[in-house]
Every structure is written in structure tokens, then in C-alpha cells.
Structure 1
Amino acid sequence: MQTTRIMAAVANVWRQPRTLPIDTSAIANAGLQAWLAQLSDAETVKLERENRIVTQALFNDVFLVERFVDGWAYGYVASQRDDHHLQGYPGWIWAAQLSTVPLPIQTGPTVTIRRGFTPLLKADGRTLLRLSLGTELPVIGSKDHRYYTVQTPLGVAKVAKRATQFGFKTANLTRGATLVRLGETFLDLRYLWGGISAYGFDCSGFVYSLHRCVGIQLPRDAQDQIDKGVAVEREAAQPGDLCFFAHDHGQGAVHHVALYAGDGWILHAPTPGKHVTYLQLATTYLQDELVAIKRNW
């Protein structure tokens, strides 16, 4: 197994080592904005139906490569391990999005990007990439009052310190309330099947990414997330708890997860073609499919 790191801003992890013509710009290292701009809502629905993308990996994430085939790499996103994927989440990544250069071993602090997007800068201030929420980087210098110096697959770079802080005051917030406050900064963002980045989320990718930003590691998928945390009764639910929903009035397989926002409201990434939104649980069919509430914070 070869250890590599993601050197694209966000790398899609594909089910098969191929893309459609419409996906050409989806394997660009600079980001996904060009690809998403050409996807209609109907095409985002098709993305789910065909299950072309299984997850995403963020810049600097470790990807363990099992084999290279025709410009593709099959392996595992090491930060997305769960009981079913002990090595990490499996899939295919376009090999040009991977760095095989070993990085110096870092035992010091790391920082996490807590804004939607922020530039990764060269020493002279030029932009290398636009990093997404959740990106984690090792710090090798912090004396500058505005920037951290960080080690990356593209070499030594810098990132604004304020980008590693929440864009709102957290002094009087629980970690659960912080999750909700961070989540609502993405209201109206279009759902993206497999998404864990600020370009778009699916339901479990949304809660996975928010928890990552408060230092809590969750499994990638709702079916595995439900096994984590402490069970909470509905009347005791607090903002930041996770609500899980299952088919057949709660008797079947888990199919959705949402963030409880308080007063009977949930915040979630609903389905393809929809956008991140608030929903009053009592007004929707999901009320009958609620199977568990879990707290991880």
C-alpha cells in the first residue's frame, strides 16, 4: 500500500475508474466550481441514481493506494474509516490529484479550515488553491499574527489564521449549538451526492464535515454514524444532536441523517436537486421515520 496525499482542493472519489464527458472538469485540481456550474438539478439527481461518486477527499487528506490503473488510483481515504472500511473509504481517484512525495513527519499542531473557502497562499501571497471547509493542515510556524505557515503536498505555504476560526462568536455556544450555527452558513447550498466539501454536501457528508470542524471524527455514512454517540430521547434533544431516519416507518434501513436545530426543527441536506434547509419535523413524513437521536458533542 502506497501512502499519498490529495493535492487537489477537493477530489471526488469515484465508484469506477471512468468519467462521463460532463465530468471532465470534475478531476481538475483547482476546484469543482466549473463542473458544478454546468450540472443541472436533473444531472445532480442522475449523479445519485448512477452512484458515480462515493465520497470526496480534501486537500492533504491521506489516500492509501492499492493499485494504479490507466491514470487512476484505487485505494482508501484514510480519514474516513468505519467498521465496514477499516483502511478507509474505498474508491477511485484520478491519479493526477495525488502527491506521492513523502512529507516530513509532523508531530506538532494542526489547524482546520472553518470557513467555506479560503486561499492557500505562497510565501509571496499568490494563491495556490482555494481550500474548502474541513481541510486539515500541519502547522510549522505561527509567529506571523495573520498567517500560519503550513506543510502541504504543494510545499510550504500559508493560510490566514482567521480562516481557522469560526466566522461567528462561540463564547456562549455549546459545541452542539456551534454545529448548528456553522451548518446554517450553508443554507441554500445545493445538495451534492457524495459531497463533504463547501461545494456541496449529501446528508451524511454534511454532518460529517460539521463535526470534523469541531474536532469530532464521525464515520462517513449515515448507516455507520447511527452506531456512534449517546442515545437521546426525543424530548431531551438539543441543538447539534443527530436525527436518523429509516425506511418503512423506522423499521427498515437508515436512509437519512439531519442535525437537530431546536424547537422541533432540523437542518439538513435533503435530496439531489434540493438545497441545505431548515425543516419542521412535525410537518413532514420524516417524523414517522425517525429511528434514533444521537449526541456526539
Structure 2
Amino acid sequence: MKEHAIAVSVANLWTDPDAARPVDSPITTKPADPSRWVQKLSHTAKLELHENNLLQSQVLFGTTVKEEDEKDGWVKVVVPSQSTPKHIHGYPGWILAHQLAAPLPKSKQMVEVAAKHAVLILEGTAGSMELSFMTRLPFLGEDVAFYTVMTPIGRGRISKSESRILTARSASGGELIAAAESFIGLDYLWGGMSSWGYDCSGFAHNMHLAGGYTIPRDASAQVLSGKPVASAKAEPGDLLFFAHEQGKGRVHHVGFYHGDGKLLHAPKTGRKIEILDMTDTVYETELCAVRRYWS
């Protein structure tokens, strides 16, 4: 398969080439403006992303995708870094061709955005762009204050105060919770995989990634892996899964156990990432499984 790199701060992985609407223009341009896009979307427009099956996922700047097909300025891709039962090679969907570039060179060292957002200063121009938490780019060098990185649109610099060298790590459950707590108050976004908005499983996926763990993209797949834990023995950082039919049906939601019967999660369209006491709520009756990915 031919490889590409995402050449915008975050690209939407659409269900098909007809899924993008006029209201989505801020996220379909190059450069994309995800902040303006999420601010511009009405509640109804956000609901349509799910109810009309428009958006599958999102992919961060620099991420490698593999081409399967192309049609009228669109490229059908799979995202190897987002595992799913939907496709053996990664999450499938469509991305606009102008939001793709040549793949980045393989590198032994990567720089990772550790802040909610970081500014990438493009070398040789007066330009800059905002990057999301967990964006990863090849390391080229450093000085006292900045890392120099290679990007799909040229060399750039990122402040060390907003980034770090990617190293092998195995975060504790408490460290996963600390990362997740920093996003309390962020709006839920169906398909969201960036710090401009997460959905429930995207939130779980990226917080684990920040801790050194790669887990599946969707809740229905996340519940099939990890270490099973009895609900009475859940610890902060474990994932709680919820299913229809009072916990006996299809898994539809995931969040972090925060301790003391509380849930830290990205709830649904129209709400923000929050900590919730599950006592006497639908979450108490729909809890169906606990899984631990941290060690």
C-alpha cells in the first residue's frame, strides 16, 4: 500500500467522500482550522456526525496512513496506529487528498506534544500552526529552548515547554488519571481524537497512548482486550464499559474509573469531559465490564 502523512493539524476520517458538509469547511481546508470548526458547529451539526454516520475518526499531523483507493480528490485510507476489527490494517475512512503529503522518514527519536496544544514554528517562513496533544514528529536536533522536527510541510521547531522526547514508559493508573483530568471541561466530539475534542473511546485511547500503552480505537474492541478486573476491585485508571439493556447488550460507552464510585469520561454530544458519581445513575445499571491496560 502507498503511504502518506497527514499534512494538517488534524484530519477528519470521513465515512465516504460525500460525508463532508458546507459547515465542515474549516476542517477540510489546508491548513485546517479545527478550533474554528468545533466552535462553528451547532449542536444539531455535531449530532449529525454520529446519527448520519458521517465521521469515523480523526488523524493527527504527521501520522502515517496507507492508501487503498482514490476518487475525485479523496483518498480511501487505513490508519495503522488505530487498530479496529473493521479492517486488518487499521481504521478505514476517506481523507481529502490535499490534506496528505509524502510519508515522513523513519526516525529513532520522536518528539511528542505533551501540552494540550503546542505551536509549531515553520522554518524559513513566518508561518506557524497549532498542534494537538500526542502529535508525534521525527526529531532532528535541539537547542536550549526548542526541539527541531521534520514535518510533512518542512522543518519546524516546537518549544520544549510544550513537548518531550518520546521514551518507553508504562504509566500507572494514577498517572493515566492525571493526564485525563487535564482535559476536564473539554467538549465531547463524536469521532474526536485530538485536544479540540474527544469521543469516549478516543479519550481512552489517547490517554493510554500518553502513558505508553496502545489500545484499540473503539470501546467495542477495547473491552475485548486488557486484563479483566472484577468491578469491586476496580482501581483508578481502569476502564469501565457500559452496555445497553442494563449491561447485557451492546457496549456503547467507556470511561475511566476515578475511584470512590466515580467515572471520568467524555459523555456525549452537548456535554463536556467530567467526573461523575455513578450512584443511582444509568451508568450504575449499565456497567458491564472493567479492563486494565496499565501495569
TM-score (norm 2): 0.92
Question: Does the CA contact (< 8 Å) of 1:122 and 1:157 recur in 2?
Answer: yes
State the aligned residue count.
288
Question: Does the CA contact (< 8 Å) of 1:30 and 1:130 recur in 2?
Answer: no
| Residue 125 of structure 1, CA deviation | 8.5
| Residue 264 of structure 1, CA deviation | 0.9
| Residue 83 of structure 1, CA deviation | 3.9
Tell me what 1:253 maps to: 250
- The CA deviation string for residues 152-174 of structure 1, in whole angstroms up to 9 with x for no partner, is 11122121222225xxxxxxx96
Q: Which moved more, 1:215-224 or 1:125-134?
A: 125-134
CA distance in 1, matches of 2:277, 2:252: 18
SS at match of 2:182: helix
| Residue 259 of structure 1, CA deviation | 0.7
CA distance in 1, matches of 2:226, 2:59: 24
Tell me what 2:118 maps to: 118
Q: 1:197 aligns with which of 179, 194, 199?
A: 194
| Residue 105 of structure 1, CA deviation | 3.1
CA distance in 1, matches of 2:260, 2:141: 44
CA distance in 1, matches of 2:200, 2:118: 23
Tell me what 2:147 maps to: 148
Q: CA 1:291 to 1:30, structure 2 compared with 1: closer, same or farther past 3 Å? A: same
Identical pairs, percent? 39
Question: Does the CA contact (< 8 Å) of 2:62 and 2:104 recur in 1?
Answer: no
CA distance in 2, matches of 1:71, 1:40: 27
Q: Which moved more, 1:266-275 or 1:120-129?
A: 120-129
- The CA deviation string for residues 70-96 of structure 1, in whole angstroms up to 9 with x for no partner, is 111111112112344221100000111
2:220 is the alignment partner of 1:216: no
Tell me what 1:169 maps to: none
SS at match of 1:57: strand
Question: Does the CA contact (< 8 Å) of 2:86 and 2:92 recur in 1?
Answer: no
Tell me what 2:266 maps to: 269
CA distance in 2, matches of 1:110, 1:128: 20
Q: Which amino acid aligns with 1:160?
A: S
CA distance in 2, matches of 1:238, 1:49: 34
| Residue 7 of structure 1, CA deviation | 0.7
Q: CA 1:291 to 1:2, structure 2 compared with 1: closer, same or farther past 3 Å? A: same
Q: Which amino acid aligns with 1:120?
A: L
CA distance in 1, matches of 2:242, 2:69: 37
Tell me what 1:185 maps to: 182
SS at match of 2:106: coil
Question: Does the CA contact (< 8 Å) of 1:61 and 1:78 recur in 2?
Answer: no
Q: 2:72 aligns with which of 70, 91, 96?
A: 70
Tell me what 2:131 maps to: 131
CA distance in 2, matches of 1:84, 1:69: 21
CA distance in 1, matches of 2:11, 2:171: 32
CA distance in 1, matches of 2:61, 2:157: 14
Q: CA 1:174 to 1:67, structure 2 compared with 1: closer, same or farther past 3 Å? A: closer
- The CA deviation string for residues 37-80 of structure 1, in whole angstroms up to 9 with x for no partner, is 21122321222111210000000111111122111111111211
CA distance in 2, matches of 1:283, 1:119: 43
Q: Which amino acid aligns with 1:157?
A: G
Gaps of 5+ in 2: 165-169
* 1:1-297 superposed matches below 5 A: 1-18=1-18, 19-28=20-29, 29-99=31-101, 101-106=102-107, 108-123=108-123, 126-142=126-142, 144-164=143-163, 175-297=172-294
Question: Does the CA contact (< 8 Å) of 2:15 and 2:94 recur in 1?
Answer: yes
Q: Which amino acid aligns with 2:225?
A: K
TM-score (norm 1): 0.92
SS at match of 2:279: helix
CA distance in 1, matches of 2:194, 2:122: 23
Gaps of 5+ in 1: 166-172
Q: CA 1:131 to 1:154, structure 2 compared with 1: closer, same or farther past 3 Å? A: same
SS at match of 2:235: coil
